[in-house]
Amino acid sequence: MIGVIFTIYGYARVSSKAQLHGNSLDEQTATLKVNGATNIIAEQYSGKTISRPKLQNLIDSLNPGDTLMVTKLDRLARNVTEGIELIKTLFEKNIKVHVLNIGLLENTSMGNFFITTLLAVAELERNMIIERTQAGKEIARTKAGFREGRPPLPREKIQLAISLLDNHSYREVEAMTGISKATLVRYRRKTKL
């Protein structure tokens, strides 16, 4: 097929605002560019979130022969099932999947086995992190003075914020004190009772 140009699309995903403005998204984008991606789509969605509209739009726009490139497999899929379904869908559309820390994945028996194995390892790692976090919480609960959730705000800070609301908007007080509008509203209601 002389004269046909195939495009290499890159997809970068981060799961938190800190990563969005930090090195993770920048690193992914730079790595994708260096490896030949000419069109890069980036979005912020947790691995737990089902809806990733930019990824879906990208997949819908791919043409046979194009390549979808990601830095790591867990940037593309949330779990083993979704990863296998997504990659099989791409293979059916004759789309190549290039995972930079693995290589080019092809629609072969060995390629499908490799994908399943890698996604299972990624899911196992995620589950182990969750288990360690839960175990840490259980240990913390046994200690005296443990309190679930964020530490309470100092009373003086709350009183200052509530008094500032007499002459300032919620947004202004939020900017001055760092206390969210929702928290300000909740504390203000308590003081009026």
Could you list the active site residues?
Answer: 15
The answer to whether the CB of 10 falls within 8 A of the CB of 70 is yes
CA dihedral over 167, 169, 172, 174, signed as positive or negative: positive
Separation between Cα atoms, residue 52 and residue 13, nearest integer Å: 10
Strand 96-99 with 39-44, pairing? unpaired
Edge to edge, the sheet with strand 39-44 lists 39-44, 8-14, 67-70, 96-99, 103-105
Provide the CA 132 distance to its chain's centre, in angstroms: 20
Cβ burial 85-100 (10 Å sphere, 16+ → b, else e): ebbeebbeeebbbbbb
